[in-house]
Structure 1
Amino acid sequence: MSNTALKQPYQKELFGHPVGLYVLFFTEMWERFSYYGMRAILVLYMISSATGSNPGLGWSNSDALALYGWYTMLVYLMSIPGGILADKYVGQKKAVLYGGLVLVAGHSILAITAPWAFFTGLALIVIGVGGLKPNISTMVGGLYPPKDERRDSGFTIFYIGINVGAFLAAIIVGYVGEEIGWHYGFGLAGIGMLLGQIVYMAGQKFLTPVGNPPSKGKKGQPSLIDAENEDENTSFGQLFANLLKSPVQLAITLIAIVGLTILAFNIFEELDRYLYAGLFTFLALVAGLMMMIYKDINSIEKDRFIVLLVSFLIIIVFWGAFEQAGGLLNIYTDSKIDRFVSLNVLDILFYGSGIILLVLGIIKKIKKSDISYIFITIALLILGIYFFFKDQLFHSNPYEIPTSVFQSVNALFIIIFGTIVSGVWLWWAHKGKEHSSLFKMAIGTIIMGAGFLFMAKASSDVTHYGDKAALILLILAYLFHTIGELCTSPVALSFITKVAPVKYVSIMMGVYFAATGLGNKVAGSIGEASQAKPVKIQLASKSVVQDGLVKNEDFSKAHDFELISKAYLKGNDIFYIDNSFNDLLTVKNNDLFVEYLKGEEATENNPKTVIARFSYDKDKKMAVEEGKITVNSDDYSGTIEVFDMQNKLEFKTYVYIFILTLVFGILLLIFLKKLKKLTHGAESLEIDDKEEAETFELGEQDSKK
């Protein structure tokens, strides 16, 4: 009998790697398909009118961006209890299974058109991602013996799966959500997650030795650090118990909690008071734990710890800017980017991307890289699908690309440029130039921030020309964001494991996820601040509807509409160039509208463009008299926007983000030598050629170190 026949399923290999790797590859690919698909349409769904053929929630932009920030923050924060649950109780394998099943439930519930379903679905997705995300990467590492040279390329294959899932999600789920129905899109994301779970459960026999629960007397493999280091690590519970026994640190923590809670209740209103009080309490507790770590470590570790805290600031700043993609940039793309392209341009985009990936695959094949077939497969899929289905998908020339589809650009750029960027760093290092992790993070932050200059240009063009901005500006912004991400994200976790005190590595990995989550919250808050407070309006009389502004069609279907005019002030009175506006609408918070127009110096000689958007209240019952529909004026409500002012707010936001990232990156470069000295040689400048040449990110790659 041959040796192959004696092999257990988990010992079998495919293309030189354990079969279990491909089980985890497709599990994670479909999980990312579901997550990024939902993320692509989430904000668009919230701001879409609550009426019409594809109704959303009808929220204001600022409210949608606020929820987006809270949601994406919680997704990352739940990685901490998710990792603890796996390490101490159920093991990574069951944590991934339970998390995946919760995700299936969450996405499925989002397919239901009810308010309770929306919030319930989001809550379940947060919990599910927390169980799956931090643990599946550990299982990949567990498939390989220690120091197995295939480990790095195995992680590269795995993270290509992440980006393939993200790329397909934005195109497929985004298209279905916008063109067919939001809830069909959410449901499709759920189907993707279900496929991932089927693959995972069917492939359990290939995962037998990894991710098992901790046995009695023996700890399980940690989800954020190497197993060999676990015995030396302190848990969150132990550290918190130490805090309770330390009067000075405990007093400082309690004072911070009370003070920040009072601050939250004085600054914020309504529900935000409690949300921010909870967030501030969490941050104060984290600060207390950090004080306990600092108290416990030696002088060299204290120096390294200071550098570690600086790296967390980099993480917060970086993701606070980068994560505008799913929020502010998504909204901006929807309303102010010219998304019409000719079919010839689409040919160039799809065929060009496919050919580039095919060439990269062939180059890797020549170099005998074991990931060449993945590049070739992706390339052939893109070329084949576009060639055979483009006539069915694109019915008009020019074609307006759905907004959410642009969320795929980042993932495609990562697949194309991942190896190129890491190759450039390898070449740079071989020339004897500075290539430390801190240096890469500083350069990456600056490059990523520079992408917002293209968005500032787009906003400037809209202001000056009164039309939508060129699509190429958005693409260039995403390109710079991706290059910056490829410089920063792959080295962040690896750097933390190198400089963190040995017995606190696991805790610092948790703090890394907290910092990433806080960066996402910052992103939502920045986006929220870029939106002017909405000025509420109402139709002045029902004759507006009957006179034809809203077509006298089948009113069983709701009709939304918008009107555009120019407005100016005489004293505190508002006048419109289109005189009918004076009779059409009633401004509810008139003082706020007057304040906006005063700020823009809107005079009769310098009127400002205003856009009034009306939505029909679908919960109102329409009166029927003698076969005629009677629509009352109070059945319609909406908002009016000072177009010029909103553009200026967005322009300032993009410029401020660029300045923040530039200043932060430059300061890091100025103090680079000092910071490196404080690490006391913890970060070796020697390069592992294989690791640097095969880097693909999405924030977790170097958790394997």
Structure 2
Amino acid sequence: MSNYQAEVSLPAAATPPTKNLFGHPVGLYILFFTEMWERFSYYGMRALLVLYMVNHLSKPEVAAHVLGFGAVKGALEGIYGPLATQAFASQIYGIYTALVYLTPLLGGYLADKVWGQRRTVVVGGTLMAMGHFLMAFENLFFPALGLIILGNGAFKPNISTQVGGLYPPGDERRDRAFNIFYVGINLGAFFAPLVCGTLGQTVGWHYGFSAAGVGMVIGLIVYLAGQRYLATDQLTQTRQTHTEKKPLNRTEVASILALIALIVINTFWWAAYEQQGNTIQLWADQNTNRDLLGNGWLFPSTWVQSINPFLIFTLTPLVIAFWAWQSSRRKEPSTIGKMILSCMTIGCSYLVMVGAAIQAGSSGTASVWWLLGFFFLATVAELYLSPVGLSLVTKVAPARLVSVLMGAWFLSNFAGNYLMGYLGTYWEKVPKQTFFLGMALMCFTIGAAMWLLSGPVKKAIDASIAQKQSG
């Protein structure tokens, strides 16, 4: 890796935009609303996906008309053996959400070396909008998923890296900017199940998927309208300035290896976290008492998917204030420390679900308060890991590789989502309390593994940040 040759742009070309609003560049708010609508489209579709496959698409009379359904199911059963409806849906959900996080590696490469970040984002958004609209035609289910996967790969890493590009090295606002940006992500994710999920479950599946497509189109419009407020693409900077060939130095190699170590460990964290759209969604649909008013009306189970994003934008200010309070006393955890706490917290969230499974007992249903407790702890865990990780990549990655490494960071989501789908196949094979306990133990184990590696990883990260700040 140390022999990798890359183009390096002069520091002067990387000067970010200076026009501010509420203490941050205007471009942050353009990216905020673009990502908000993109996440609306993604989470709107995700909230429906497993229920759509279990309750509609897998019906023999429907599956017969779905292009490639038999071939895909046959291929999976050739690997895993016979798959019941729920197990097949879990595998498809896991593979889809995994590939959504594999393609950002390609999207990052295209942005850094071919198209630039802006053009790659537009291509990605267009492909995703097409895919969401094609979901309205059940026979095109798999081609639609393919377009969304490719589009997300082009879109996702290049929106996140543009946030970092708005701030010069060492700017203390960067971490706070990513938390603001993360609120945008979750604002879209909050409204998505309420709009797309309700339309899909009460009016028709295809209305929900079409609403997701409309959200993506709005996001594209916002992004194109705000181009002048964004930082210049790294690729454009390289082409406009004198460049030199330079290998990665030891500090850069060490920082990349540290990121790789975190990617491997975070894989298991995401496998636990992403069960929210898979087995936790099934628990909400099949094992939760949703008759809140006692009058026989059950709220749509997809609504529980809004709990996590709602808690994100309500808890984020509190978490940031708590970190500031800790920082003033020199007790704020390091990035790695926050990630360790995250692993332990999400493990505790599954212990809550063990309690839910015990209460359900022979009746099969439990109070919705167990789910609220689960989502509260899972959300706190998310705030201590996900936005922190995005910020970390932009701080330590060499400038000429920032989009590629952001794509590589999402490989933990890729592997984690695939593992999530595989673990979900045990949902109907083992008692529910056993399933939840196994998830908790997995989370505690990866927390311990991260603690064991925290020393060398923190050293490599600190050295990389210091090098970038020194110019």
Q: So what's the TM-score if we normalise by structure 1? A: 0.55
Of Structure 1 and Structure 2, the greater strand share is in: 1
1:137 aligned partner:
160
Cα distance 1:233–1:326, how it changes in 2: closer, same or farther (>3 A)? farther
- Check if 1:160 corresponds to 2:111: no
Q: What number of residue pairs does the alignment pair up? A: 428
1:48 aligns with 2:55: yes
Q: Does 1:72 align with 2:94?
A: no
- 3-state secondary structure, aligned to 1:214: helix
Residues 259 and 409 in structure 2, CA contact (< 8 A), matched pair in contact too: no
Q: Is the 8 A contact 2:161 2:394 kept in 1?
A: no
Contact 1:88 1:214 survives alignment (8 Å): no
Kept in 1, the 8 Å contact 2:161–2:402? The answer is no
Secondary structure at the counterpart of residue 325 of structure 1: helix
Alpha-carbon RMSD: 3.4
Alignment of 1:306-317 (within 5 A): 308-317=259-268
* Identity score, percent: 39
- For the 8 Å contact 2:112–2:403, the answer to whether it is kept is no
Q: CA contact under 8 A between 2:109 and 2:404: conserved in structure 1?
A: no
Q: Which amino acid aligns with 1:175?
A: T
> Could you tell me which of 204, 211, 221 is aligned with 2:233?
211
Q: How does 1:88-487 map to 2 (within 5 A)?
A: 88-112=113-137, 114-115=138-139, 117-144=140-167, 151-207=174-230, 210-211=232-233, 214=236, 217-218=239-240, 232=246, 308-342=259-293, 397=295, 399-433=297-331, 435-464=333-362, 466-487=363-384
Distance 2:58 2:399 in 1: 56
- The AA in structure 2 aligned to 1:96 is V
Match of 2:410 among 491, 513, 518: 513
Q: Which runs of 5+ in 2 are unaligned?
A: 1-16, 70-83, 466-471
Q: Give the distance between the partners of 2:127 and 2:27, measured in 1 at CA.
A: 22
Counterpart-to-counterpart distance in 1, 2:422 and 2:247 = 35
8 Å CA contact 1:107, 1:187 repeated in 2: yes
Q: Is the 8 A contact 1:141 1:151 kept in 2?
A: yes
Q: Structure 2: which amino acid aligns with 1:423?
A: A
SS in 1 for 2:233: coil
| Aligned CA distance change for structure 1 residues 494 and 85 (closer, same or farther; 3 Å) | same
Give the 5 Å matches for 1:554-573.
Answer: none
Question: Mapping of 1:534-549 within 5 angstroms?
Answer: none
Shift of 1:21: 3.4
Q: Distance in 2 between matches of 1:153 and 1:78?
A: 27
Paired amino acid for 2:268: V
Matches of 1:70 and 1:459, distance apart in 2? 27
Give the distance between the partners of 1:21 and 1:44, measured in 2 at CA.
35
SS at match of 2:277: coil
Q: Give, in angstroms, the shift of residue 501 of structure 1.
A: 8.6
Structure 1's 682 and 138: CA in aligned 2 closer, same or farther, altered over 3 A?
Answer: closer
2-structure distance, mates of 1:13, 1:500? 25
How far residue 436 of structure 1 moved from its aligned partner, in angstroms, is 2.2
- Whichever residue aligns with residue 409 of structure 2, its letter is Y
What is the rounded CA distance, in whole Å, between the counterparts of 2:397 and 2:29 in structure 1?
A: 32
Alpha-carbon distance between aligned partners in 2 of 1:440 and 1:14, rounded to the nearest angstrom = 29
Change (3 A) 1:434 1:163: closer
Secondary structure of 1:173's counterpart equals: helix
Are 1:453 and 1:654, in contact at CA under 8 Å, matched by a contact in 2?
Answer: yes
Aligned with residue 654 of structure 1, among 436, 445, 470:
436
CA 1:154/1:499 → structure 2, altered by over 3 Å: closer, same or farther? closer
Distance, in Å, in 1 between the alignment partners of 2:301 and 2:155 is 29
Aligned-pair CA distance for 1:73: 0.8
* SS of 1:90 mapped into structure 2: coil
How far has the Cα of 1:194 moved from its partner? 1.3
Contact 1:233–1:504 (CA under 8 A) maintained in structure 2: no
The structure with more radius of gyration: 1
What is the rounded CA distance, in whole Å, between the counterparts of 2:397 and 2:22 in structure 1? 36
Does the CA-based 8 Å contact 1:233-1:506 persist in structure 2?
Answer: no
Q: 1:233 to 1:194 in 2, by over 3 A?
A: farther
Q: CA deviation at 1:204?
A: 3.5
* Unmatched 5+ stretches in structure 1: 1-9, 221-227, 235-296, 344-396, 533-647, 687-705
